[in-house]
Each structure stands twice: as C-alpha cells, then as structure tokens.
C-alpha cells in the first residue's frame, strides 16, 4: 500500500490479528458448485453475522460474488466489502432482532452506491462518505 508522497503505509486490516475474519462467496473456481440462491444465502449470512441482521438481493443477472474482510479494534470495527451489485436492507423486523445501537460510516471506493434512510437518499461516488 502506498501512502502520501509514495511512502509505504501500514494496511488498516491486520490479517494476522485474532479479531480478523474474512469470507467470500463464489470466489474460487475450484470450490464445490452452488446455486445462485445458495450464494446469496451465504452472503446474507456472512454480512448478518459480521454486522447486524441484514437482507440482501443481487442486482442484475450476473452470478453474484462478494468478499468481506473485517477486523475489530476495541469497540471499533473496520470492514472492506467487495461485492457485486446488491440491495441491502435492514427492515424493522431485522432491527427488532438486533436492537443495540450502531453507527455505520460507508466510504464508497468504486462504483456508485445509494444509502436510503428516513425518506432521504444519498448517492455515493468513489471517495464519498455517508453515516
């Protein structure tokens, strides 16, 4: 990783830390074949176990794939998510299953993202951030 002025920067995610975990869906060509529905179910389980209960559905007709890297540092949790287009929802029913309070900051690194909350929409392009 190259930092400001070309200096080497330390990666945010320490892949050797005991609090680090990663998961992927449909990433390995040699893996046992699964249906597209199994890929989406596996992704929903991965993001729900990492964050809070969430529902996700893929956008488009391409086979869904995703990768998540996550590390906890005290009370702060950092994640890098690389995935195909998807709609992710935290419905009132899902909120009731996990009522603790969280703050989520999303930083869009590539592509376009939309965050909808309380009737408002924020469109995120690379470099944009939403809370």
**pLDDT tens for residues 55-82?**
888 887 777 788 888 888 888 888 888 8
Res. 121: pLDDT tops 80: yes
Q: What is the CA radius of gyration of the chain?
A: 16
Res. 20: pLDDT tops 60: no
Q: What is the pTM of this model?
A: 0.68
Measured CA to CA, the distance from residue 113 to residue 68 in angstroms comes to 17
**Partners of residue 80 on adjacent β-strands:** 69
> Per-domain residue ranges for the chain?
4-98, 101-131
């Amino acid at each position: 990783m190259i930092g400001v002025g070309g200096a080497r920067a330390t990666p945010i995610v320490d892949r050797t830390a005991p609090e680090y975990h990663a998961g992927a869906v449909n990433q390995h060509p040699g893996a046992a074949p699964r249906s597209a529905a199994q890929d989406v179910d596996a992704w929903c389980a991965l993001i729900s176990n990492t964050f809070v209960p969430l529902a996700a559905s893929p956008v488009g007709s391409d086979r869904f794939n995703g990768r998540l890297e996550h590390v906890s540092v005290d009370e702060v949790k950092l994640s890098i998510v690389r995935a195909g287009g998807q709609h992710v929802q935290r419905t009132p029913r899902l909120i009731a299953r996990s009522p603790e309070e969280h703050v989520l900051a999303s930083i869009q690194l590539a592509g376009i993202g939309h965050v909808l909350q309380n009737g408002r929409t924020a469109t995120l392009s690379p470099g944009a951030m939403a809370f």
